Structure 1
Amino acid sequence: MKVSVIDRLKPSRTWRRWLKRGVTLAFFVLVAVLLFSLARNVDWPEVVETLRSYSPLLLLAGVGITAASHAAFSGYDLLGKRYTGHELPAWRVLLVASVCYAFNLNLGAWVGGLAMRYRLYTRLGLGVSTVTRILSVSLIANWLGYMILAGTVFSFRLLGLPSSWEIGATGLQLIGFGLLGISFAYLAACRFSKRRVWHVRGHEVVLPPLKLALMQAALGAANWLLMGMLIYLLLPQGLFFPSILGILLISAIAGVITHIPAGLGVLEAVFLALLQHEVAKSEILAALIAYRALYFLLPLLVACVGYLMLERKGRRRKREEARQRG
């Protein structure tokens, strides 16, 4: 009896799937235990007092940084418009992207990044394949900017680790070199590769020209820099900005691994673990609470209004198409 190649691969795939679930669960438990052990001795009245001490001018600056960051992220989809050549007006693309980003942050990538993006774009007349290509441009821009920044911070050891974590500095540096290598390999492929079409897990990816790839890197890096700048603004003065940025970048990956919407608890656990040797726990938690309010919740309120506008536009377009067919 012959055994097909697919049948041979099934046990391997099952093993890898369960290993991935096990690692995710273990990481989730580790984060929960770490967060509990670090937060149980927090002076919560001091957290409230720190929140009250934020001046209106500082909060207004925080709103401005948040708006700039969300605009940078929405710019990913403008690159997608240039990449695909679709005819939706730029202002509508920015509206869709900003709405999806706010829902993505709060409810997870499957809701905001994927399901909502496909729904809104297809209701506005774009095909599924076009939306997929827009999404690929957006994802690459986000993580290309991430890898360039993380690679730089980790490679040059700009992240000030606690003394108990110093043993991991070399490993983090090697990861940084790897991230920079991947980033430059992508940019080199966009410039020199003669093969422009690649297939990744059944999806067709067309390499963009180098100019568009550099714009992906610039927008992606700008978005992450602005996120780090907002947290830096809310923390006490005198800290080293690249170190704050590095902690944010580590917490982002931890959030992806645990699949927790908004990285709730993960962001706090990583910052408490890596920054408590420099800043009081109450000040760290106050800064992160304010960060979530400004960067997550406030844009979500605005995005709900934008979503209703887009849904109404989509319904109107469907009715017009039905009338034309009738």
Structure 2
Amino acid sequence: MATRLEAAEPRAGGVTARRRPALGRWLGAAFAAAVLALLVWAARAVDWAQVRNALQQVPPGTLLLAALLCAVSHLIYSTYDLVGKRWTGHPVAPRRVMLITFISYAFNLNLGSLVGAFAIRLRLYAREGLRQPVPTQVLALSLSTNWLGYGVLAGGLFLGGWLEPPPQWPVSGTALQVLGGMMWLIAGAYLALCRWAPRRDYVIRGHEIVLPSIQLAGLQLLVSAANWMTIGLIVHVLLQGAVPYGHTLAVLLVAAVAGVVAHVPAGLGVLEAVFVALLGPTLGAPTVLAALIAYRALYYLMPLVIAAVAYFTLEARSRR
């Protein structure tokens, strides 16, 4: 269990969070502006009547299967904080932990990490009587869990050549393979440290890193990989198997990190831009956009409605 984390220092991915350098903020803003300009340009070129027709042609059975997979994914993600509960040993009941994780995840998807992952999650844990630094320790492990599985899956797919960038992209297939190898090295180093490091906590360049046991790290990898693979399967189902599952998953992973870098709430438009760029030439933009509209409705909006009702119910009970 980590014991050195101060209450005012939330950690991300097991590392003490600090303000990003000014250069990083400017680069992020420039990237976001470029993405938004690309989205405006792309939206003007889309035949939305064809998108509507493609959406109407999605079979009801496909939508039902995708909805069931969405429920499975949200259930898997809700176990992330159970890993943190085991790590910290806090007394909140597992059922309540999963509910808090589900609510924060739904808000995170739609409104961004500052609202969902941080504000709502920490508020609900405070309502349960958890004192700092335990809630931020749980949050840190949840974030590192999410990106550990991402790195292993994305690294494997990039190394395996599942994603071939378009000719106009500045990144080549070889560069993606190098990136995949780096992801595997980072994930492997994390697991090796969790297994063989003589100490559990380190301070590197002013950042505090607290390592879980190798058993918990393995559990992190298992649940995160399962969740990312389930999300990829949802999009693959909505695309009705038009492209190989591995290719769909690789595109999803690229779109996910692009949405994070762009700092656009819910990755709105970024996900669509990446999928249209990589799959549009093969499937057609209307077909791809129709699948993604259905995906957003099932994976983002429906859980948000349920999470909002649950959140306000918990708030009302707390006031009483």
Deviation at 1:107, TM superposition (A): 0.4
The aligned counterpart of 2:125 is 121
2:202 is aligned with 1:184: no
The aligned counterpart of 1:255 is 259
**1 CA distance for matches of 2:193 and 2:119?**
30
The aligned counterpart of 1:246 is 250
Q: Which has the higher helix share?
A: 1
Q: In structure 2, what residue type is equivalent to 1:33?
A: A
For 1:159, which of 160, 163, 168 is the aligned residue? 163
Q: Alignment length, in residue pairs?
A: 301
Q: Secondary structure of 1:238's partner? A: coil
Contact residue 197 and residue 204 of structure 1 kept, 8 A: yes
Q: Output one character per residue of 1:228-267: Cα deviation in whole Å (capped at 9) or x when no partner.
A: 1111111143301111111111111111111111001111
**1 CA distance for matches of 2:86 and 2:146?**
17
Which protein is bigger by CA-based radius of gyration? 1
Q: CA 1:148/1:250 → structure 2, altered by over 3 Å: closer, same or farther?
A: same
The aligned counterpart of 1:136 is 140
Deviation at 1:269, TM superposition (A): 1.0
Q: CA 1:313/1:130 → structure 2, altered by over 3 Å: closer, same or farther?
A: farther
**2 CA distance for matches of 1:207 and 1:72?**
22
Q: Which runs of 5+ in 2 are unaligned?
A: 1-19
2:244 is aligned with 1:275: no
Q: CA 1:91/1:167 → structure 2, altered by over 3 Å: closer, same or farther?
A: closer
Contact residue 120 and residue 314 of structure 1 kept, 8 A: no
The aligned counterpart of 2:305 is 301
Q: Secondary structure of 1:297's partner? A: helix
Percent pairwise identity: 47
Q: CA 1:201/1:139 → structure 2, altered by over 3 Å: closer, same or farther?
A: farther
**1 CA distance for matches of 2:169 and 2:201?**
43
2:35 is aligned with 1:28: no
The aligned counterpart of 1:174 is 178
2:315 is aligned with 1:311: yes
Q: In structure 2, what residue type is equivalent to 1:266?
A: V
Q: Output one character per residue of 1:181-202: Cα deviation in whole Å (capped at 9) or x when no partner.
A: 0001111111100111134687
**1 CA distance for matches of 2:208 and 2:184?**
25
Cα RMSD of the aligned pairs, angstroms, is: 1.8
Structure 1 stretches of at least 4 aligned residues deviating more than 6 Å after TM superposition: 200-203
Q: TM-score, normalised by structure 1?
A: 0.87
**1 CA distance for matches of 2:174 and 2:209?**
34
**1 CA distance for matches of 2:263 and 2:169?**
25
**2 CA distance for matches of 1:202 and 1:306?**
39
2:113 is aligned with 1:103: no
**Stretch deviating more after TM superposition (234-243 or 188-197):** 234-243
2:63 is aligned with 1:76: no
Deviation at 1:41, TM superposition (A): 2.6
Q: Which runs of 5+ in 1 are unaligned?
A: 1-15, 317-326
**1 CA distance for matches of 2:132 and 2:315?**
18
Contact residue 145 and residue 221 of structure 1 kept, 8 A: yes
2:223 is aligned with 1:219: yes
Q: In structure 1, what residue type is equivalent to 2:79?
A: G
Deviation at 1:44, TM superposition (A): 1.2
Contact residue 164 and residue 173 of structure 2 kept, 8 A: no
Contact residue 268 and residue 285 of structure 1 kept, 8 A: yes
Q: Output one character per residue of 1:65-90: Cα deviation in whole Å (capped at 9) or x when no partner.
A: 11111111111101111111111111
**1 CA distance for matches of 2:30 and 2:100?**
36
